Amino acid sequence: MPVIYVSEEVQGKRRLLQLVFPRLSSRSAPEHSRWEWPELRAGSSTIQGFGLYPRAGGEVNWEKLERPLALPYLGKETEVESASQARVLRSVLSGCFDLCRRDELFTPKGHVWVQDGIYVTSQPRRDLVDGQQVVGDDECLLQVGVDSLYDKRGVSHVDEGDEEVCYLRAEEARELLHLPPHVFSLLCAHAEDGHADRNISTHIVQFMRKAQAHLIVNAHPMFRNSAFMMGNANEPFRGPHPRCQPRGAGARSSPLRTQERWIRPPSLQLEERTLLPLSDDDPLLLRLGLRQPDGARAMYGAFVHEFPEVADKSAFFLTRRESYRPAEELTVVYGGSYNRTYSTWGHQGNPPIYKVPPDLFADGTWASHAGGACAPWASWPVRTPGWFNVERQPTNRPAFQRREDGSVELLPDLPLVVKARRQALDGGTHEQRLPH
């Protein structure tokens, strides 16, 4: 029974909620099968790719909720000291950067390049202190615009003393953001206009846990972690479904649904909350004649042991209604800082500046073969089709292939897609017009 009563404080008053959390299947189980969600499931979306759905038969009666539910947004966490640092790292996840060697940068006389937090900066050699790390000439760096624009190149040029860019160690940034090497290689290819519509900034939530602790939480399906269930929640489109891929940049492509409309408002709300589990003698429970479900405390303890951030200030989806149909897809809006090419409730999207063909997959990937004898191949979190998955690539525009020695090779993008991007970014007015 992975549901526990918790409280939150709103304007000096406590409110009672139920926190839904996953059940540990086995301490020895791998990440993709380690956690079970009796109250939720991932299924084929009515919007795009995978979607989040209620699960019938559990502790929660979704058709008649007694009180609001809180669903924890879990993922790979990256913690930095400021919102500006988080914004820079989100640019890296979007592929908005250029690669350079340290010795390609202008260095004033008497200066050296050193590590300064997550950045690499230039300072007078005389200001070096013991233990400060000097960056070698052959170090590979990322050059990132402080205010990068989505769907643009990283930096076109840099003048001496320019403070509009910053530098990070490439390998350190990759590790900080939990990026597999093959995915990072694709993001690096954006500088040459290859695969530039594909990125990893599509399943993230950003919030401030405390002063100087800004969190980026990434629940991308490439991690294949069964605890990251909330990453399946889509944003609802407002108006016609765009032909280009939404909220997944290829990861969620399902071309069979590109003409549908979605006009219902989001059924969940993204919030930052500190939720505290209650004892059975808490006045909030005593007043309503409630007590914690049997075994809930032990299961919650096992959950928090592996995800202690849930006991701190974290991101949650909160229910907005008192009734949900079992087959209804749960949707949410991810906020104003989210880069989207489509419009959703409360936010206008930025249409793509060039056309990209929707990803197509082998028969039986998203839907059953003709006759329906076999279930679809796609099954979250183990089998997730997408450009990031070497084992199930788009057939019309693959990004990777596995070599005979087991290593992964980045494939060149389709010449027509690269040309369309270059015309949109560099061409004249006539060349920038998108053909219909």
pLDDT, tens digit (0-9, with 9 covering 90-100), for 331-370: 999 877 677 778 787 777 788 889 999 999 999 999 865 5
For position 255, what pLDDT does the model report?
39
Q: 245 φ, ψ to 5°?
A: -75, 135
DSSP conformation class of 19: E
By the 8 A CB rule, do 92 and 99 touch? no
Long-range contacts of 370-377 (CB under 8 A, 24+ apart): 376/44
The four Cα atoms 105, 196, 414, 203 give a dihedral, to 10 degrees, of: 140
Instruction: Give 45's strand partners.
Output: none
d(CA 263, CA 344): 9
Angle (CA) 110-115-116 rounded to 5° is 100
Which residue's entry shows tokens 């060697």? 101
| b/e per residue 126-145 (b: at least 16 CB within 10 A) | eeeeeeeeebeeebebbbbb
d(CA 23, CA 33): 11
User: What phi and psi values does residue 434 have, to the nearest 5 degrees?
Assistant: -85, 130
pLDDT 10s digits, 257-298: 444 455 689 999 999 999 999 999 999 999 999 999 999 999
Cβ distance 137 to 101 under 8 Å? yes
Evaluate whether 270 touches 315 at the Cβ level (below 8 Å): yes
Show pLDDT as tens, one digit a residue, over the chain (436 residues): 589 999 999 888 999 999 999 999 999 999 999 999 999 999 999 888 899 999 998 899 999 999 999 999 999 999 999 999 999 999 999 999 999 999 999 999 999 999 999 999 999 999 998 888 899 999 999 999 877 655 566 554 444 445 689 999 999 999 999 999 999 999 999 999 999 999 999 899 999 998 889 999 999 999 999 999 999 999 998 765 544 444 433 334 443 444 445 568 999 999 999 999 999 999 999 999 999 999 999 999 999 999 999 999 999 999 999 999 989 999 999 877 677 778 787 777 788 889 999 999 999 999 865 556 678 899 999 999 999 999 999 999 999 999 999 999 999 999 999 999 999 998 755 444 444 3
